[in-house]
Structure 1
Amino acid sequence: MIVQRIEINLIRLPFRVSYGHKRKTHSEVYSVICRIEDGEGHSGLGEAVPRNYVTGETAQSALRDAERLGKKLLGRHFSSFRDIQDCMNGLAAEWSEPFPSCAFATLDLALHDCLAVSNQQDMGAYFGVQSTPVSYTASIGLSSKAKLLALLSVYRLSGIRAFKLKVGDEHDASRLRTIKSFMGNDVSVYADANGAWSADQAPSKIEALAALGVWGIEEPLHIPMPTDEAVDEQQVDRDGSMLRAHFERYAKLRNEISIPLILDESLISPKSYKRIIETGAADILNIRLSKLGGYSLASTMVENKPDALKFGIGAMVGESPILAAAGYFFGCANPDRLYIQGYSHRLLHGSSFTEGGPAMKRGSVSASEKTPGLGVTVDQSALERLTINKRILKYEKE
């Protein structure tokens, strides 16, 4: 496969209902959608969801960096997963500015999809595994009791029995009791504080949740952010704001609590991954393809982590079926994951621009092995209606 053409669309997709946590309430999503073509009639899709409080990227900065990175991919030949992985790891090692994980992710996923399509393999076969049904964990945001009960009714009908509960306000215990009462005491629940607490507050807050049956806690400590505001939609340096002391505070907290500690917003790049390993800051890594550069970089992290360090597969709120499908196949390829999330678009999106792909039924997702690549196709006219900015790159032989 030779990369001949790259199309990058920045889209805005409104939600039907809002979704909130401690740091942000979402009523829409900005996604960077990438299509890569090989000139032989094959194409692949990628997606990333930039959020400045996660990777530091803005929608516009991710688009610009995807264009810069895309120019480095034009004309390159790839024949295997490892070819793409080695290329993307090499480009990541060369990148000297704040690391644009989302720009890497949307291009990387499109490369792998295009190669799988050109090989006439579904993404499971491309990874060398069977595409089997995968049970999902659903996310529950900060909301009123009435909204929570309505959401739980949908989840119960969907057959979902595992949940991530957003926490960080005075109603945490009440929401947790409502979930257990409505869904049954045997449901699995872990909590995500999105940086709600100080190092002094966190141990007692976490132990109170543990006493109510929460099995793990994600990102409980205040999240370092750069003091400088983004200028002209430029990426801010979140990586640079997370000093070693931040990870050492997490290493200390691990010894003060009785349930596993999950890191998410503190894991956004190869640099932060290295610091987590060096300091022993986590029990579990929350791997989200969008914030970790796609299949290539995320696979490198999973392959190289210490055996005692576990991982789960997270998702971006409001991601489209493109990124959801990519997450599903990553889950198939990594059966030792502790959990997997995704498919929030089924509840949130007010419109659609895709067809096909793995589908959720009774709390699990499955795919047809007869469909090449991710199995997702795009309605180009619908995509154009959602597009607010666009780049097209073409390979010109010298």
Structure 2
Amino acid sequence: MEIQTVDTYSIAVPLHTPFKTALRTVTVAESIYVKVTCTDGTTGWGEAPPTHVITGESLASIQYTIESILKPVILGKRLVETERLFEMLHHAVVGNTSAKAAVDMALYDCLSQYCGLPLHLFLGGYHESIETDYTVSINEPEQMASDAAQFVSNGFDVLKIKVGKDEIDKDIKRIGAIRERIGAEPLIRLDANQGWSVKESIFAIQKMEDLNYNIELVEQPVKAYDIEGLKQVKNHTFTPIMADESVFSVQDARRVLQTESADLINIKLMKAGGIYQALKINQLAEAYGIPCMVGSMIETKLGISAAAHLAASQRNITRFDFDAPLMLGADPLQGGIDYKGRHITFSSNHGLGIENIQLDSILSKQT
């Protein structure tokens, strides 16, 4: 079975509420969808959102990379020669990790269909179901407390709180307001998106420890390049520190792991370049005794389905951040993962389980 065609489509789905972090505000989920068709008629799908402030990619660059660089590399290649296929895909171009990820997940969709298995079983099949957290966007403390209370009442018992946009005292007030509103039971994890300095990170985390805010972990408190600073924060606080933007590649992960600069690693397909590389990062982290979370950018259920299948397949992946589809005002997919509140389940359909994608006003083929 060979790869016969590769097609790309652009999509745009409005969010029902703006998504705000220290790095950006998103009101519309834009992505490039990829369809890979094999000679036996098997069709696989993938997705790549443009996240300029993290991966440096735009819709135009993603579409160009797939159509002009990655597509010629994989056309006509045998699907089952996986090691050769993914090696060629990864080395075809430097960077452009989201474009690679979209093609990678479409190939994995085809492979697991060919083998007659749902993707999470094809990859390892460790979890039968998983649970996602829900993200509280960065706003005024009172608004964030109100949003957090609403999410908890909706059944989400793990909240990911965005911080890092304003002065450090205001971030502490945000968490205090949230804790006062939701009580001590729900888990809180913080994500500063590189918004704090090393000194601010240590001060804020120690202060919240003294106030018994019970923070599960703090994600990427300092700049992505500042591995030494990340290690300083880890060494001067009791709260576990998670590396996110600091880890794109296996090489990045090795640097963080060898220097003992983080307690956990957040793997995202759009940073890693897809499932093939993400598995390597997780395996390396597991060898060092470091658990991983799998998260995402602002993606539709297509990209999140691929990430969730990966996350459910591995023992060392212990945390899941897959709330993005719940933020969208519409769902262009039938099939894929299924949400019941915070609970995510997988169908018995093979591959990603995509049954239909609505090729209407939100999805138009690129020429």
TM-score, normalised via structure 1 length: 0.83
| 1:30–1:49 Cα contact (<8 Å) kept | yes
Q: In the TM superposition, what is the alpha-carbon distance from 1:192 to its structure 2 partner?
A: 0.8
| 1:10–1:389 Cα contact (<8 Å) kept | yes
Q: Provide the aligned length of Structure 1 versus Structure 2.
A: 360
| Distance (Å, rounded) in 1 between the aligned partners of 2:23 and 2:59 | 18
Q: In the TM superposition, what is the alpha-carbon distance from 1:185 to its structure 2 partner?
A: 0.7
Same amino acid, percent of matched pairs: 22
Partner of 1:159: 155
| 1:133–1:364 Cα contact (<8 Å) kept | yes
| 1:50–1:102 Cα contact (<8 Å) kept | yes
Matched position secondary structure for 2:199: coil
Partner of 2:214: 213
After superposition, residues 373-384 of structure 1 pair within 5 angstroms as 373-382=351-360
Post-superposition CA distance 1:30-72 (Å, at most 9, x none) = 2121111112221011112221211122221122122211211
Partner of 1:390: 366
| 1:136–1:365 Cα contact (<8 Å) kept | yes
Partner of 1:133: 129
Post-superposition CA distance 1:192-244 (Å, at most 9, x none) = 11111222322112212333211211111134xxxxxxxxxxxxxxxxxx4xx
From 217, 230, 248, give the equivalent of 1:250. Answer: 230
Q: In the TM superposition, what is the alpha-carbon distance from 1:146 to its structure 2 partner?
A: 5.7
Q: Relative to structure 2, which stretch is displaced further, 140-149 or 248-257?
A: 140-149
| 1:108–1:293 Cα contact (<8 Å) kept | yes
Structure 1 counterpart of 2:86, one-letter code: M
| Distance (Å, rounded) in 2 between the aligned partners of 1:192 and 1:151 | 16
Structure 1 counterpart of 2:24, one-letter code: K
Q: In the TM superposition, what is the alpha-carbon distance from 1:297 to its structure 2 partner?
A: 0.5
| 2:282–2:317 Cα contact (<8 Å) kept | no
Structure 2 counterpart of 1:117, one-letter code: Q
| 1:47–1:290 Cα contact (<8 Å) kept | no
From 100, 118, 124, give the equivalent of 2:120. Answer: 124
| 1:288–1:315 Cα contact (<8 Å) kept | yes
* Gapped regions of structure 1 (runs ≥ 5): 224-241, 392-398
Post-superposition CA distance 1:294-327 (Å, at most 9, x none) = 110000111123332221111212x111112112
RMSD between superposed Cα atoms in Å: 2.3
| Distance (Å, rounded) in 2 between the aligned partners of 1:45 and 1:113 | 7
Matched position secondary structure for 1:257: coil
After superposition, residues 1-398 of structure 1 pair within 5 angstroms as 1-67=1-67, 68-79=69-80, 83-85=81-83, 87-92=85-90, 94-95=91-92, 97=94, 99-129=95-125, 132-145=128-141, 147-148=143-144, 151-168=147-164, 169=166, 170-211=169-210, 212-223=213-224, 242=225, 246-305=226-285, 306-317=287-298, 319-346=299-326, 348-369=327-348, 371-382=349-360, 385-387=361-363, 390=366
* Gapped regions of structure 2 (runs ≥ 5): none
TM-score, normalised via structure 2 length: 0.90
Q: Cα gap change, 1:261/1:128 in structure 2, threshold over 3 Å: closer, same or farther?
A: closer
Matched position secondary structure for 1:216: strand
Higher relative contact order at CA 8 Å, sep ≥6: structure 1 or structure 2? 1
Q: Cα gap change, 1:151/1:378 in structure 2, threshold over 3 Å: closer, same or farther?
A: farther
Q: In the TM superposition, what is the alpha-carbon distance from 1:364 to its structure 2 partner?
A: 1.0
Matched position secondary structure for 1:201: helix
Matched position secondary structure for 2:355: strand
Q: Cα gap change, 1:146/1:205 in structure 2, threshold over 3 Å: closer, same or farther?
A: closer
